[in-house]
């Protein structure tokens, strides 16, 4: 996967710009709030995922404009392809001039791994951040995973609505068995794929974190669930899930919410036998998040035989030179987009393309 061209119109603070990247390391530098992250955000949106800033579509449109458009030319499957996204009252997504139902249809077509300061929340944030990490990673290596997640979310919403109604209409109890069978079947697929992903990425993360800590610390990942563990088959997970749904039924009716399932899945990032969320330093948490992201890039390539683009938004500024060198060496022979405020001599050694951005305009390219 190689990005050949990026065009932006009315996107964030960018009026009308075009970026022609190299196939190796692209450094985008400039002061804060000039538009560096906007370029990476635009690229990331073509992965089919939501903005890594958590922004709504309307916030992507330049002030006083009524639409924004981003376009890319990319080389994949031994041919040059095109994709575009238009943000207005209704979002329009096209791949090779064919209109897609939604941006989700780009999942798996354009592969990317993104690390921004927000990614620290994978380690230090709540369970929702770790589930988001897993879902975004798995979607890129599984053509069906996203459909299961969407279907499951709808099932849980309907079950919760039913739980609230049961308090006043006890005759609805019989309907729960039907819903629970569906939820257990769909949910077990999600949890099984999540635990398989964790099992596959764990060794990579352990190696990367050990290198980042210069062999002084050891990291591991541990699944947290009330109804499955790392050794279970999908069918075993389904049976356990269905049993636990029944066991928790009275509590669920009382609270009006489903208390168990993939929407409660979590994992712990462990450093030297301690949970990094509660006991890790800022530096350890940062290295933990980086190791998860680098492991993700390796696993995507291993599963798909396609190298994802790597987007590094102000990642290196708080790392020493040895760790900077390690990261850039570890993802060698991959197309990289890296933002920074200060263009150091060390970074220049790795760059094959350097771009400066000021007030939403690409000013210089070396």
Within 13 A of 203's CA, how many CA atoms are on the CB side?
4
Query: Which of these, 49, 44, 157, 43, lies nearest to 102 by C-alpha position?
Result: 49
pLDDT tens digits, residue range 325-343? Answer: 999 988 888 999 999 998 9
Query: Which of these, 228, 222, 202, lies nearest to 137 by C-alpha position?
Result: 202
Q: How confident is the model at residue 216 (pLDDT cuts 50, 70, 90)?
A: very high
pLDDT tens digits, residue range 98-139? Answer: 999 999 899 889 999 999 988 899 999 999 999 999 999 999
pLDDT tens digits, residue range 239-291? Answer: 999 999 999 999 999 999 999 999 999 999 999 999 999 999 999 999 999 99
Query: Pairing relation of β-strands 353-358 and 361-365?
Result: antiparallel
Neighbours of 87 (CB within 10 A): 22
Within 13 A of 229's CA, how many CA atoms are on the CB side?
1
In this predicted structure, the answer to whether residue 366 has a pLDDT above a threshold of 70 is no
d(CA 205, CA 218): 10
Beta-carbon contacts of residue 123 (< 8 Å; ≥ 6 apart): 269, 276, 277, 280, 285, 288, 289, 292
Specify the DSSP element, H or E, that contains 337: strand 336-340
Q: Can you tell me which residue has the tokens 């080389």?
A: 75
């Amino acid at each position: 996967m190689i990005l050949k061209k990026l065009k932006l119109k009315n996107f964030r603070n960018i009026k009308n710009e075009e970026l022609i990247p190299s196939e190796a390391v692209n450094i985008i530098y400039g002061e804060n709030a000039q538009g560096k992250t906007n370029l990476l955000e635009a690229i990331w949106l073509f992965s089919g995922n939501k903005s890594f800033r958590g922004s709504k579509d309307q916030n992507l449109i330049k002030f006083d404009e009524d639409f924004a458009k981003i376009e890319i030319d990319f080389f994949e499957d031994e041919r040059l392809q095109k994709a575009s996204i238009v943000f207005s009252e209704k979002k329009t997504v096209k791949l090779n001039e064919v209109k897609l139902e939604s941006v989700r249809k780009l999942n798996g077509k354009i592969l990317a791994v993104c690390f921004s300061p927000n990614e620290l929340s994978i380690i230090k944030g709540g369970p929702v951040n770790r589930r988001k990490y897993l879902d975004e990673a798995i979607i890129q290596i599984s053509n069906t995973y996203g459909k299961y997640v969407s279907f499951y979310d709808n099932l849980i919403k309907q079950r919760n609505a039913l739980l609230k109604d049961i308090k006043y209409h006890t005759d609805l109890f019989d309907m729960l068995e039907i819903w629970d069978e569906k939820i257990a079947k769909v949910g077990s697929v999600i949890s099984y794929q999540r635990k398989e992903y964790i099992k596959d990425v764990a060794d990579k993360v352990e190696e990367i974190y050990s290198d980042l800590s210069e062999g002084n610390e050891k990291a591991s990942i541990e699944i947290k669930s009330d109804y499955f563990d790392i050794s279970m088959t999908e069918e075993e997970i389904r049976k356990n899930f269905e049993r636990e749904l029944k066991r928790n039924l009275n509590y669920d009716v009382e609270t009006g919410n489903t208390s168990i399932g993939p929407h409660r899945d979590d994992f712990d990032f462990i450093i030297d036998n301690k949970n990094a969320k509660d006991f890790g330093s800022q530096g350890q948490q940062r290295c933990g998040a980086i190791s998860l992201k680098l492991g993700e890039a390796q696993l995507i390539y291993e599963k798909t035989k396609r190298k994802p683009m790597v987007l590094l938004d102000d990642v290196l500024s708080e790392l020493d030179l040895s760790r900077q060198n390690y990261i850039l060496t570890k993802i060698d022979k991959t197309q990289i987009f890296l933002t920074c405020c200060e263009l150091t001599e060390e970074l220049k050694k790795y760059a094959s393309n350097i771009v400066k951005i000021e007030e939403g305009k690409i000013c210089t390219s070396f």
